């Protein structure tokens, strides 16, 4: 009995979808022979895989039938994301075939100004010469149409949705499909399906960046984006106080587990200036973004003040990067966008 005989015996254990033997595609590995015992590893995406018991049973029978083998032990190990994607490549979503980079703007909790950051970072990227789209992936409370003053009805062509264009952005939101104040009620499976439609059924065209405004938390929309776009960059938004930082840490944990690269942190509502020459008033505490940056090793890309023009821009439909791009807060957004572009080039 030798390893070659074991490998030959395992040729009969075939993956039903790939129609190839598990030994040939590397899902069976680490074969060890000790006298009359054989130990090997079975690599699966998850230990809860529905094929787990079937594969183990077939492996035990195939190897057990080899003369001289008295016992077979199968250890289940995890395929890496890269291995899984190589074995089971996803069919590309039609709408995003020509999008170079994806940037999800996320936060652990609501009320930190994530949508304001997403809109103004997207506009800052436009002003730096990039072609940019903006997707409102907050399927529960889409607010981008209000914050950009969009009320036009969506159009379709060749079974694809045509995004709205404003301020140099291509924009899509579920808020464009329902009346103002109408409730959005989604359950888990429908959320993933809707996210995929917002990506694949919209004619985004050629874009350097598709900026995706995620809802707060670590629920179904964030998981759906992570699954659909495994190389999506993530920008985390927080405020200085500890309650926000605690939630952001949880959200960071989700994206780190799913393998999304995190380009950095933005601290919003860092301070308030009663006048240009006044001392900063740190209403929500201080140093939270810096502390989180030190903990995680992620760069703090910028600290944004509590700015009346930011709030007015969200209410009027004219964002700060349109009305006051050269203001001090506007320059902070330009710096954040510049750093994101630099990080993107490093990760390519």
CATH number of the structural domain spanning residue 326: 3.40.50.300
Residues 110, 59 share a domain:
no
Which of the listed residues 40, 69, 87 is the one where a domain comes to its end?
Answer: 87
Which of the listed residues 41, 66, 87 is the one where a domain comes to its end?
Answer: 87
Residues 107, 44 share a domain:
no
Residues 111, 218 share a domain:
yes
CA–CA distance, 348 with 346 (Å, rounded to integer): 6
Domain enclosing residue 206, as ranges: 94-347
Element containing residue 200 per DSSP (H, E) = helix 188-200
* Confidence at residue 183, expressed as pLDDT on a 0 to 100 scale: 46
If DSSP codes are grouped into helix, strand and coil, which group holds residue 86? helix
Residues 168, 67 share a domain:
no
Are the CB atoms for 337 and 301 separated by under 8 Å? no
Per-residue pLDDT of the chain in tens (348 residues, 90 and over written 9):
789 999 999 999 999 888 899 999 999 999 999 999 999 999 998 777 878 999 999 999 999 999 999 999 999 998 887 888 788 766 568 888 899 999 999 887 677 888 999 999 999 999 999 999 999 987 776 789 889 998 877 788 888 999 999 999 999 987 776 555 554 555 556 777 788 888 888 999 999 999 999 887 666 777 777 777 767 899 999 888 776 677 778 778 777 777 788 899 999 888 777 666 667 777 766 777 788 888 888 899 998 888 888 888 888 889 999 998 999 899 999 999 999 999 888 776
Contacts of residue 279, defined as CB under 8 A and 6 or more positions apart, other chains included, come to none
Residues 222, 119 share a domain:
yes
Residues 227, 305 share a domain:
yes
Residues 102, 63 share a domain:
no
Angle, alpha carbons 332-335-341 (nearest 5°): 145
Residues 319, 184 share a domain:
yes
State the total domains in the chain: 2
Residues 171, 49 share a domain:
no
Which of the listed residues 70, 87, 104 is the one where a domain comes to its end?
Answer: 87
CATH number of the structural domain spanning residue 14: 3.30.300.130
H helices, E strands: number in the chain: 12, 13
Q: What is the pTM of this model?
A: 0.71
Beta strand spans in 249-336 (E): 262-267, 300-303
């Amino acid at each position: 009995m030798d390893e070659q005989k074991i490998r030959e015996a395992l040729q009969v254990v075939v993956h039903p979808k790939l129609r190839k033997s598990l030994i040939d595609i590397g899902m069976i590995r680490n074969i060890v022979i000790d006298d009359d015992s054989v130990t090997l590893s079975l690599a699966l995406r998850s230990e809860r895989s529905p094929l787990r018991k079937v594969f183990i049973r077939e492996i035990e029978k195939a190897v057990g039938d080899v003369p001289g083998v008295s016992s077979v032990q199968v250890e289940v190990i995890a395929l890496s994301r890269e291995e899984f994607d190589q074995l089971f490549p996803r069919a590309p979503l039609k709408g995003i075939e020509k999008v170079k980079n994806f940037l999800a703007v996320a936060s652990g909790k609501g009320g930190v100004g994530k949508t304001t950051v997403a809109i103004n970072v997207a506009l800052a990227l436009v002003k730096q010469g990039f072609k940019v789209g903006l997707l409102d992936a907050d399927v529960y409370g889409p607010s981008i149409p209000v914050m950009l003053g969009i009320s036009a009805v969506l159009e379709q062509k060749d079974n694809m949705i045509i995004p709205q264009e404003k301020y140099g952005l291509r924009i899509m939101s579920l808020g464009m499909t329902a009346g103002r104040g109408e409730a959005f009620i989604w359950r888990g499976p429908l959320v993933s399906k809707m996210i995929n439609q917002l990506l694949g059924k919209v004619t985004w065209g050629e874009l350097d960046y598709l900026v995706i405004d995620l809802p707060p938390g670590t629920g179904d929309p964030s998981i759906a984006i992570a699954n659909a776009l495994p190389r999506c960059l993530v920008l985390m938004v927080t405020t200085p106080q500890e309650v926000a930082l605690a939630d952001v840490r949880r959200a960071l944990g989700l994206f780190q587990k799913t393998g999304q690269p995190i380009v950095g942190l933005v601290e919003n509502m860092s301070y308030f200036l009663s006048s240009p020459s006044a001392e900063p008033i740190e209403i929500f505490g201080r140093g939270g973004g810096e502390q989180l940056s030190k903990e995680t090793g992620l760069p703090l890309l910028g600290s944004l003040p509590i700015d009346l023009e930011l709030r007015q821009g969200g209410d009027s439909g004219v964002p700060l990067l349109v009305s006051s791009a050269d203001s001090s807060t506007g320059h902070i957004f330009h710096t954040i966008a510049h750093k994101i572009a630099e990080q993107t080039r490093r990760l390519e």
